[in-house]
């Protein structure tokens, strides 16, 4: 994990078969030891609480994840104040959580507050802003704010593409999400190019034998065909929704 919020990977990725029980036991044990050593409200607990919250999020145990993120937020605010960078991380985790729960208004509040703190502390082009921008784009798209969604995704891609270490599949899925925005606006040619770019990225990882990647390629290719068909007919189909992102292990 970097100094801040983990890179947000795609919701579909979390569906990969995995036994979380061992990881949950390991992180719970680490949290118990840290509480005994540091006390119940030490800021050193925040990272561990968030780590455990990510596991529960991937297990779709949203109530447990929410409780852990809220504990981290309360500790960080008490220790550092309401606009410290450490506060932005649980805020953004909570924003991602509420996206997955389809509570977009709540997600918006947490993500905007987290982004404001990050921009004030880190500047507007820092690596840690990428995930927040990507998540905020989903909120804007859900409410039909296409221009705002496009702006967030373009900012995300500018940051992510400037970092050689940024996970390529995350960039690929954001290309899909930006294609959705363009398609919903009737800009089919631009949407098609983005779908093609995303497909190329995913196909470059196809030798991993990961069923999620295979399914994603098929879905992207289907979306590309639908987009090209709509562009040829000059008829706009039903609005599409972007793919939610969640904090997940790096690819």
* Domain boundaries, position 15: 8-247
In a domain, 3, yes or no: no
Residue with tokens 């995303």: 198
In a domain, 81, yes or no: yes
- Asked whether residue 94 carries a pLDDT value surpassing 50, the answer given is yes
Residue 186 maps to which CATH number? 1.25.40.10
Nearest Cα neighbor of 202 from 8, 10, 7, 5 is 10
pLDDT of res. 18: 65
Residue-wise pLDDT tens digits, 111-164: 999 999 999 999 999 999 999 999 999 999 899 899 999 999 999 999 999 998
Alpha helices in 81-210 (DSSP H): 85-100, 104-122, 129-142, 146-161, 168-184, 188-203
**Which residues share a beta bridge with 247?**
8
In a domain, 47, yes or no: yes
What phi, psi does 84 have (nearest 5°)?
Answer: -80, 150
In a domain, 156, yes or no: yes
- Number of other residues whose CB lies within 10 A of the CB of residue 243: 16
In a domain, 1, yes or no: no
Single pTM value for the model: 0.84
Which two structure tokens, joined as six digits, stand for 243?
């793919």
Domain total of the chain: 1
Tally the C-alpha atoms within 13 A of residue 59's C-alpha that lie toward its C-beta. 17
In a domain, 67, yes or no: yes
In a domain, 76, yes or no: yes
In a domain, 2, yes or no: no
What phi, psi does 247 have (nearest 5°)?
Answer: -65, 130
């Amino acid at each position: 994990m970097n100094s801040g919020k983990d890179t947000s990977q795609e919701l579909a990725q979390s569906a990969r078969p995995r036994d979380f029980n061992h990881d949950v036991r390991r992180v719970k044990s680490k949290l118990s030891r840290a509480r005994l050593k540091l006390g119940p409200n030490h800021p050193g607990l925040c990272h561990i609480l968030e780590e455990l919250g990510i596991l529960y999020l991937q297990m779709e145990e949203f109530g447990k994840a929410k409780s852990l993120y809220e504990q981290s937020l309360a500790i960080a605010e008490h220790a550092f104040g309401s606009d410290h960078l450490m506060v932005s991380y649980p805020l953004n985790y909570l924003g991602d959580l509420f996206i997955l729960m389809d509570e977009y208004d709540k997600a918006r509040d947490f993500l905007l507050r987290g982004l404001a703190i990050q921009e004030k502390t880190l500047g507007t082009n820092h690596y840690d802003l990428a995930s927040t921008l990507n998540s905020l784009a989903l909120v804007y798209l859900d409410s039909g704010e296409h221009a705002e969604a496009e702006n967030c995704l373009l900012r995300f891609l500018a940051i992510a593409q400037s970092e050689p270490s940024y996970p390529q599949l995350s960039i690929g899925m954001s290309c899909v999400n930006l294609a959705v925005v363009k398609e919903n606006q009737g800009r089919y040619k631009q949407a098609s190019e983005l779908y093609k770019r995303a497909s190329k990225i995913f196909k470059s990882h196809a030798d991993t034998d990961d069923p999620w990647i295979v399914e994603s390629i098929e879905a992207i290719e289907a979306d590309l065909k639908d987009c090209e068909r709509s562009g040829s007919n000059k008829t706009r189909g039903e609005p599409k929704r972007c793919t939610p992102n969640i904090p997940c292990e790096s690819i």
